Each structure stands twice: as structure tokens, then as C-alpha cells.
Structure 1
Amino acid sequence: METSLLFVIMLIGVLGIGSQWLAWKYNLPAIVIMSIAGLIVGPFLGIMNPEASFGNLYNPIISVAVAIILFEGSLNLSFKELRGLGRPIFRIATIGAFIAWILGSLTAHYMAGLSWEVAFVIGGLFIVTGPTVIMPLLRQSKLKPRPAKILKWEGIIVDPIGVLLAVFAFEIITFFTSDAKDGSTLLLFFIAAIFAVFLGWFCGKTIGWMFETGYIPEFLKSPVVVAVVIFCFTLPDEVVHGTGLLSVTAMGMTLANIGISSLNDFRHFKENVSILLISAIFIMLASSLQLETILHIFNPHIIGYVLLMMFAVRPLSIFLSTIGSGLTIQEKSLVGWIAPRGIVALTVSSYFATILKEAGYQDADLLTTLTFGLVFFTVVSHGFSISPLAKKLHLSIEGNPGVIIVGSNPFTVELAKSFRKGERPVLVVDSSWENLRYARNEGVPFYHGEILSEQTEYNLDTIPYDFIIAATNYHSYNSLVCTTFMPEYGRMNVFKVDPNEDENNGDIVARVGGRSLCVEEVSLDELNEKIANGYVFKQTTLTDQFGYEQYKEEKDDEAVFLYFIKPTGQIYFYAVDMRSTPSSGDVIISLTPPSKEIQRQINNKK
């Protein structure tokens, strides 16, 4: 039975998103799961071959998807992030890329046996990493801000540079090997590259102006941006292959740095689309490979080439280019190791394999095998090693999941102290210096600033924190904070505390934003009053002999359940719609009346 195109599309979506879910559930590198899933249903079992199913649409679909992914990644490239990192990022993207090109080309010639012409083309292409592989790794591993920003900027900026280097190398080869030397092709290449940057900048500026002046309605913003991205990519790419990626990168960086207020309105949409596209493309590329290509990877020359690229070319290019840049030896070691190749390398190498073979270079047949070998080995090795290596080099945010509490008051400060007793990162954020006196007096970590401001986004490191609790005196503000951070933290990890019952008119605002903290109907005013009356935070460990049901029967009726901690360190907050219940070994934290605690202490002394 022949597989229908509809079935192929369905399978790509199920396998792609299913792989993402498995990776999230079991804390595995998503790109590894997707690659393995694609190989299983493609060359190993022969269930589908997207390249054959899509036919002439296959390459355009991949190209447009890569353009959208690269644009989405470049939307995160704000120059404000470069404070203190401008020099190393600039050197890696220029000097480091050039060194990697030369060393990679030499390796391809002497180890893989490619001709000089083909070696220099593929050497330029293999300097790319890209957001399709870097972003999933950064989501998986909690790197400290400096190495995370370096890897992100390098991956997005070097992506179009690598493609352009490969195109440039091919144009140089064509120029010097042709009988009638004509410099018009080289001139066209440079003009097209300059035009691509200008077009990207112009499109970014135009979209930003139209957004700010109201020329585009809210419901059309995301569709308009997608359409412009495709236009911005296609127009220069039709002139010179590869310049389209440069154009969409320039467009994204322009939008990221002109300071338009509505940027976040479509940024989350782009992130969702990007995840869908990355998932689909990895499945499509892996399942379209031929079994002969995969088996050829185990050729000693191919393996030797891959190992030299991973253990010699990449570390040398990073260490040499960052001399005197201010990076520590640990940061250089991590960045020098992490360089997975991804979608751009696979798609562009197939393009060059075709045109080089047509130009008479028979060794171009090896390009697909070399590329997949490098992609697969780097994705697997870097995907599984980034977290352990970061911890070994002390470049990861280790420890238990942390909590950001918005609003400084007696209850939130005592709540923060309970987290600190459990050795969990906690931070109290408030824009009022007067309110922060509660946190200052108790020695609780705090941040003075507006949590929703753009300045806070760049000054406050949120990587150590997995939960956010909005507990200020304003219903609407709590809901706004929760709504803003819900896409980043997830609905299950965003909570709010109702200030008081009188302000909740018709329960309208209470339905917006995050989940209400506590199962009991208790307001922030009541919680602060309990603190004033001497209520204490109490920890109770459940055992096989003293279970949850018995604990609930014996607890004080005035006690308020707040959260419980699993032996693994995972934290669960009490909420009306909570799905987990404590079990043996869990530690329950509750706000308990003082009388019963004092009585228990007296009984213990007896």
C-alpha cells in the first residue's frame, strides 16, 4: 500500500511534537529524539520518504521553514545583551568563523579526501550551528547567562555567514577554473549580499513603523510578519542562493532593536511556529535519508573527519579567536565543545552536492554523507553532554527549582524564608522601596524594579527560577504579571494571591492570568493578618505510618496548605485545580496557628 501525502504529513506532526514531549518529560535532548524517530520511520522501516512524497515542494518547504526559524531566533538578538560580551561574540563570529573555515577545509581535504575546491565549499558551510539546534539545547540545559548568550548569538549570526562563505568559495572556484574569466558573477554576489542586508533592515523598519502607527490591525500582525519574512527571504535568495538567510537575520535584528512596544505580541506566536517547524523539519530530513548514506558514515575516513572537526577544529577556532576577550577557560571550553550542526548544513549541502557534481566534481557525492555524519554525531554528543559538562565547569544553574515572588509584604517574605530553608533560590521583586523593607529586614534576596519593564528583562537573571507568584495588593496587576509570564513559565507554574475578597467584583479578574495559590479561599490580607497573629510555617513529613489522610484529619482547621516537596526535590503548590497529592516521603509546608505549634513543643519537652 502506497503511503498517502496526508498520512506523511500526519506522521511528521505526530513524531515531531511527540519527540518534543518525550524530551521534555524525561529531560532528554529533543533534537536527538527527533533524529532517531526520523531514521526509524524513514530509512530503517521505510514507512515514509518525505522527499519523494513532497516532490518539487520539498526543498522550498525546508527553505521557507529555515528562514522563519532563523528570523524568530534573530528576534532575540537585542544589542542590550552584548554588554560585556560584544568583544568575544564579534571575534567568534568573524575571526573564529574564518579560522574554522580554513581548518575545516584542510581537514576535509586531507582526512575525507575531497578535492581542494569541494573542501573549501564544505569548510565554509560547516562553520554553522544555528538556532534549530542551539535553541533546543539551551532550553534543555540551564546555562549561566554569559555562555548561553554567546552560543545563541553565534548560532544565529554565523548561520547566514557560513552559507555565504560556501557560496563565495563556489563563486571563486568557478571564476578561477573557467576558461573565460568574468568577474561579473563575483560582483553580483557582493551586490546581492549588500542588497539582502538592506532589504532586511528596510523590511524591519517598515514593519516596526506600521505596527507603532496602527497601519496593521492586531489580528493581522503575525500573518503580516510571516508574509514579509517569506518575501524578505525569497527575493534575494532567487538572485544568489544563501543571501535570503542574511536578509531575514537582518530583519529580525532590526525589529529586536528598534524598541517597538508590540514586539512581544507576536514573539510568542513565532516561538510556537518555530517549535513546530523545527520538529517537522528534523523528522523530514532524517526520514528522507538513504540507508546507503547512513551506512557510509562508518567509513574510517568519515569518522576521522568528524572527530577532528569536533575535537580539534572547533576548540582551536574558539580558543584562538577569544584570546584576550575576557572569557574564562571554563567558558572557552564549553563554547569550544558545543557546536552541533543542524538543518541549514543538511539542506545547503544537498544543494551544493548537486551543483558541484554538475560542475564536474565527482567527489561531491560525499557531501551528503559527510554532512549527515557531522550532524548526527554532534547532535547526539553535544545533546547529551551539554548539561553534565556545564555542571562540571560550574557554568550551569544548579540546585532545586527556584521561585520569584512579586510583591513584598509580611506573608511573601515569610514564604520566601521557607524556600530558603529548603535551599531553594528565591527572589522577592517589588517596585516600591518602602515595601521592600520587609525583605531587607529579614535578609531575603530582593530586586527593586518593575517586573514587567524591559529594563528588568535585561538586568534580572530569571534562569534559576521555575515558578512565579504574584502577590501584590492589586488584582489586575497580579493577573497581568501572570498573563505576561505564562508563555515562558507555563500555566502550571504561575500563581497569584487574591489581595482581598471585596475587590474581586464578579470574579472577572480572578479568572484571568495564573492559578490561585492555596486550595482554601484565603486572601492576601488574611494571610498577612495570620502572620501578624503569630502563624508559623510548618514542615510535616509524611510516612507509611503517618499518611496524607491522617495528616488532614489531625491538622488544625485554621491551617493553610501552601506547597509540598517530593524526595526528588520537585515542588508542587496547592491550588484549586491541583492534580498531584502528597504521598509517603513528601514534605508538606503549611501556615499553622501558633497555639498548636507551641503546644506540640511543650509536649515534646515532656
Structure 2
Amino acid sequence: MIELAGIIILGILAQWFAWRFKIPAILPLILIGLLVGPLATLYTEDGSKLIEPIWNGESGLFPGESLFYFVSLAIGIILFEGGLTLRRGEILHVGPVIVKLITVAVVVTFIGAGMAAHWILGLSWQISLLFSGLIIVTGPTVITPILRNIPLKKDVSTILKWEGILIDPIGALVAVLVFEFISAGGGEAVTSTVLIEFGKIVLFGFTFGFTFAKALALAIKSKVIPHYLLNVVTLAAVLGVFVLADHFAHESGLLAVVIMGIIMGNTNLPNLKDLLYFKESLSVLLISILFILLAANINLENLLLVINWETLILFAVVVFLVRPLGVFLSSYKSSLETNEKLFISWVGPRGIVAAGVASLFGLKLVEQGIPSAELITPLVFIIVLGTVLLNATTARPFAKLVGVFLKESQGILIVGSSSFSRIIAKYLKDNDRHVVIVDNNKSNIDKAKEMGLEAINANIYSDDLIDNVELSDVGYLMALTGNTAVNKKAIENFAKQFGERGTYRVISSEEMEDPENNPDDGLFSQTDDYIKLVNLTRKYPEIHEIALNSHEHFEGLIEITKVEPEIIPLFIKTPEGQLEILPNNAKELDVEPESKLVYLGKSFDKEPSKMVVEDQSIKEEEGDKEIEREKNQDQKEKDSGEDSEEDKETEEENDKDKKES
């Protein structure tokens, strides 16, 4: 009981420590596991571990292979949660690179690391290739915390995130095939069996993952499952898919749950957000337990076998030669620049799948009497711990060194997915700005996604957005909801994370009545509130550009928009094509010649230079006409008064004539 409670408590403390100091949680988790496991034998009175994961007759938590059953199921849940976060729309520009990273780079790592292990450490080819198969994977549980804390170009963070999740089942698959080859003793007949096993894993993994995802999505949409059972039913379905696929083809369960997660994550489900919250919390707990257990399961004597210069050289070859070679071959002739390829090459930490599968296969091969099998688990752990430590401490400075660190985050976060928010976001996206819409109204989010926009269904009163990898390059915040309190709260909550370049909100109707006292963070103009923006969008759902000749010309157009209710200024487009958000004190901006004014509403019919002059003449003409109208009105009233007097006199005379007669 004490051991179980201790693992959970230490795991959560490690997670908090990692959050507090902005490092991957795997680092303190492994260190804790080593301290209560193999290293505990150095300071306990009886030379035993404080936590013994496998039951050995006197102590331990899991009898037999039950530890590895638990590890396999837990990894399945973690990978399913990772699959839920993958969106097809993220990979429009980098899809080919990701595909090559999980194919070409896998082959490079498998062959390169295997050759290095064989020649440097003198391991047999079978053990060397098993080692290389296990370190193919890059852990999403490690990469995600790193990406959260480094503002990068969206394509770079997307590549690393997708690679980390998709490559896990592939690495496990390769390791399983090598393990089966070793266990069966090799030979042509065994090779044929291994190829058949490969086909079975792919077939059952894809079939079960796709089928169960569609069935569960249909059940959720049809409301067959009550809301309070949604999370636990999904959990049961994930475990069921994993076990069923694994029954038909050993180790196909990992592939099945990843496919299931991706399919469900890209299906329009009404309660997907609830699933993500639940699975994320569960994943944090499982990761905390797993890393401590697996690190504690290593024996000190095996760990000491791999602490030498040969292992350090192998580590350097894997990290500084094999990984970059795989990345550069995979990204050849892609849109990635050299500095982006270098950063992707640098960030390749191994994670839970490598550690878990290595522990299982290492133990089984030792039981079979395979030479050097006892080195597999500690060797993989050295790679895991080394890559995590390296990337956690150097990713940020290395990003600055190679120039992929975004000094000025140009992405824009728009709070609110109303009709005019979507039109503005679409214009920004068409002009090469990374823009993300956030709204708690799922219907509005779906409309944004139909327009090809990146949209997140989230509540701005929670902290969910802060840890979102996709927002690492966001530096502007535009709060465009119809609720002033929500707009202010959005700026209050997220200005520090997403508003380093500027935070803005639409003004309220009350603030519009007093233009002189508009807020400093007011957006677009001093005379346009949410209602005017929505109404104008309904009438003129278009955004226009008009060339500017000078700063005076710009000021003149801004004055026109103040008196013209059907035109609202939005941005300034510089000659280089950069967009600058217009605050409500837009006239104070320094506008370059040959810039453009971007505006919403009806199109200007005149040339800009003529419009300013004609606008003034129009005002003068209207003033003259108004004076003329007033004069005519006075004359009419005067004439009307004279006519009434004459009529009165005529009436009196008529009455007098009547009396006389």
C-alpha cells in the first residue's frame, strides 16, 4: 500500500516540479525512479530497493509479467490521447515531410543505430538491431512540454508533434519484428514468418482502430451513451480495441489505438473536448506511474555495465549523426529551411514506448538465455535519459542559436467566432498570418473550420489554452465577442502568453458614445462596436484594400470612415505585405507610402486622392444647401404668414357682405 501511494504522490510532485521549472516531466520522473530503485540499494540498510516493481517472492508490486501488461495498456491509453490531438488541417504544408520521417528516417535510424551498436559496443547483430528498433521512437510526452515553452514557426512544431505520436507504434512494430526474429532463432523460414506477422499487425491495427472509432463516434452522436458515462465508456472501448487487436496480432494494439484516436479526433463529435480533458488527466497519472516503475525496475549491476565511454560514443552517434541524417534525407526538397531542419534534428528525445517495450523484451530475452540481452533495458534507458536531459536543457538556446526562435511572434489569437471574426480570420490566413479562433460555441467553431480556419472549442475562463502547442507562435490577441466582460477577461487571462505584441478588443456600445474616453486597447475605430460590426458584415461580407498615397491621405480616409457608417477600417498593409492591426487611435500610426488601408464594408468608388478632396467639397456643398434650405424654409413660413392674414381679411369682408344682405 505504501509503495503504491508513494509512486502516485512522487509522480504528481514530479509533474508539478516539471511544470514549475518548465522542463519535461520525464526527467524528474526517471530520476525519482532511479533513486527509489537501483540507487536505493546503495543507501538502504539491507541493500534493497525502496520500490520493487516485479514480485520476486518476498516483495514487489506486480507478479510475473503483469507489470508489462499494465505498461502496455497504459501506453495504449497515452497514445490514444495523443491521436485525439492530431488534426488533418495541421499538415497541409508539411504532410510529405512527416510521412518521410516515419518511413525514411525510421530506416536510417534502424540501420545506422544498429551498425553503431554492433561496431562500438561489440553487440551481436540481433541485439544491436533490437536496440535500434527500440530507439526509433521520439516520445510525445517529452516533446510536447518542450514545444510549449519555445515560440516556433507552426510548421516546425507541427512536424515534431505528429512525428512523436505516429512513430511510437511504428517503432514498437519494428522492435516486435526483431524480437520475434531473435526468439525464433533466425533463418529464411523465420523471415517469412516475421513478414507475415508484419502484415497481420498492420491489417488488424488499421481495421480494428478504424472500425471501433467509427462505431464509438456513431454511438456518441446518437446519444446512446449518457454524458456521465462518456469518458469511462471511451476508456473501456480503447482498452477493448487494444486487447482485441493484440489478441489477433501481437503488438498491433498500439497501432489500433493511435488510428482510433486520429479518426475520432478528426470526427465532428459533440463532446470531444470532454474526452480530451479526461484522457489528458489520465495520461498525466499513467505517465507519472510508468516512468517511476520502469526506472525502478532496472538493476544496479546492469546499469553499471553501460556507464562507460563506449556508451557515450554510441549516444553521440545516435544523436548527432543518425538523427540529423534521417531528418535531412526526409526533408530533402521540402519547404523547410536549413535552420529548421537543424532544430528538428536536435529535438529527438525518446520516451515511454522505448522504455516500456525495452523493459519487456529485455526481461524475456534474458529468460531465453540470449547473450547480452541484459544490456538492452539499461542501454535504452541511457538513451532516453540522455536525450531528455539534452533537449530539456538546450532546446531553447539552440533554437535561438540556429534562428528558429520567434523573437516576434506574429500569430494572432481571435477570441470569438462570430461572422465578422471569421471573415477577418480568413483574410489574415489568406495573407500568410497564422491565426487561431477560440470560442466556446461549438456551432461557430464548426463554421470556422468549414472555412478552412484553425479553430479551438475552448472556454477563456479556463487555462486550457496556455499549454496548447499550436499557439506557441501567437503574439497578438484580438477579443471580438459581443460581451465586454468576456473580452476584458480574455485579455486579463492571456495577455502575458499571447499578447506580447499587442492586445485589443472591440469597444462596447457605452464606450462608443464617448469617443474621447475610448479604452487604450480599443480596436479598429472609436465609433464601431460589436453590433455595428455584425450588422455591416451581414450587409457587406467582404474585405477590401485601398492604396494610400501619404500619411495625410490615410488620415483623410480615417476621417471619412468616422462619418461613413458602412465602412470600418481594420488593418494597414505595408508595402512588404505585412499587416498591422488598427487600434482605435489609428491616426497616430506612422503609415508608409504605398501602404494599403484594409477595411470592411462597401467598396470605395472613387480614387483615394479625389475622395479626400471631394469629401471636403461635399461637406461644403451640403453646408451651403443646408443654409439655402433654411432660408427657403424661413421664406415659406413668412409667405405662409402673409397669406393667412390676407385670407383672414377676405373672410371678414365676406361675413360683412352677408350681414348687409
| Aligned counterpart, 2:162 | 153
Deviation at 1:245, TM superposition (A): 0.6
In structure 1, give the amino acid aligned to 2:53: P
2:61 to 23, 35, 54: 54
Cα distance change on mapping 1:7 and 1:313 into 2, 3 Å: same
Identity %, equivalent residues: 33
Offset, 1:458 = 4.9
Q: Deviations over 1:157-187 (max 9, x none)?
A: 1111111112222334456636976945642
- Equivalent residues of 1:431, 1:449 under 8 A apart: no
- CA 1:277–1:139: 2 relative to 1, 3 Å: farther
Would the alpha carbon gap of residues 467 and 310 (structure 1) be closer, same or farther in structure 2, given more than 3 Å must change?
same
Listed one character per residue, the Cα deviations across residues 409-456 of structure 1 (whole Å, up to 9, x for unaligned) are xxxxxxxxxxxxxxxxxxxx864279979x99xxxx997977552546
Q: Distance in 1 between matches of 2:296 and 2:181?
A: 34
| Whole-angstrom distance in 2 between the partners of 1:192 and 1:434 | 43
Q: Is residue 541 of structure 2 the alignment partner of residue 534 of structure 1?
A: no
Alpha-carbon contact 1:29-1:140 (below 8 Å) kept: no
Secondary structure of the residue that 1:54 maps to in structure 2?
coil
What amino acid does structure 2 have at the position aligned with 1:15?
A: L
1 CA distance for matches of 2:436 and 2:310?
Answer: 58
Is 2:19 the counterpart of 1:24? yes
Give 5+ residue unaligned stretches, structure 1. 1-5, 408-428, 496-516, 518-522, 539-606
1:352 and 1:524 mapped to 2: Cα distance? 64
Q: What is the alpha-carbon root mean square deviation over aligned residues?
A: 3.8
Which of 216, 220, 224 matches 1:207? 216
Cα distance change on mapping 1:199 and 1:321 into 2, 3 Å: same
Corresponding residue for residue 14 of structure 1? 9
Tell me the residue number matched to 2:266: 257
Counterpart in 2 of 1:197?
206
- Post-superposition CA distance 1:388-422 (Å, at most 9, x none): 11222332344699995647xxxxxxxxxxxxxxx
Deviations 1:351-385 (A, max 9, x none): 22233334442111110121111111111001111
> What is the CA-CA distance between 1:87 and the residue it aligns to?
0.9
Q: Provide the C-alpha distance between the structure 2 equivalents of 1:209 and 1:294, rounded to a whole number of angstroms.
A: 49
2:183–2:365 CA contact under 8 A, matched in 1? no
Contact 1:31 1:383 (C-alpha < 8 Å) held by counterparts: no
The answer to whether the aligner puts 1:340 opposite 2:328 as a matched pair is: no
In structure 2, C-alpha distance between the alignment counterparts of 1:320 and 1:446, rounded to whole Å: 27
Partner Cα separation in structure 1 for residue 393 and residue 401 of structure 2: 14
2:106 is the alignment partner of 1:97: yes
CA contact (8 A) 2:306 2:375 kept: no
User: Would the alpha carbon gap of residues 449 and 142 (structure 1) be closer, same or farther in structure 2, given more than 3 Å must change?
Assistant: closer
Distance in 2 separating the partners of 1:214 and 1:364:
51
Corresponding residue for 2:420?
432
Give the conservation status (yes or no) of the 8 Å contact 1:133–1:342: yes
Distance 2:10 2:227 in 1: 33
Note if contact 2:315-2:383 (Cα within 8 Å) is conserved in structure 1. yes
Contact 1:397 1:463 in 2 (8 A): no
* Structure 1 Cα separation of the partners of residues 26 and 355 of structure 2: 14
After superposing the two structures, state which structure 1 stretch, 274-283 or 292-301, moved more: 292-301
**Which residue pairs with 1:43 in the alignment?**
38
Q: Residue 304 of structure 1 aligns to which amino acid in structure 2? A: I
- Residue 81 of structure 1 corresponds to 90
Contact 1:432 1:448 in 2 (8 A): no
CA contact (8 A) 1:125 1:163 kept: yes
Residues 182 and 268 from structure 1, CA distance in 2 versus in 1: closer, same or farther, beyond 3 angstroms?
Answer: closer
The structure-2 alpha-carbon separation of the partners of 1:207 and 1:536, relative to structure 1 and needing over 3 Å to count, comes to closer
What's 2:481 paired with? 472
**8 A contact 2:412–2:475 mirrored in 1:** yes
- How many residues are matched? 477
Give the Cα separation in 1 of the matches to 2:335 and 2:10: 43
CA shift for structure 1 position 230: 0.8
**8 Å contact kept, 2:11–2:289:** yes
Q: What does the per-residue CA deviation read over 1:190-249, in whole Å, with 9 as the maximum and x for residues that have no partner?
A: 224311210011011111111111111111111111111111112222444321111111
Larger Rg: 2
Specify the alignment match of 2:445 in structure 1: 453
CA distance in 1, matches of 2:188, 2:328: 41
Displacement of 1:131 after TM fit? 1.9
Amino acid at match of 2:420: S
Match of 2:241 in 1: 232
Which of residues 162, 167, 177 in structure 1 aligns to 2:176?
A: 167
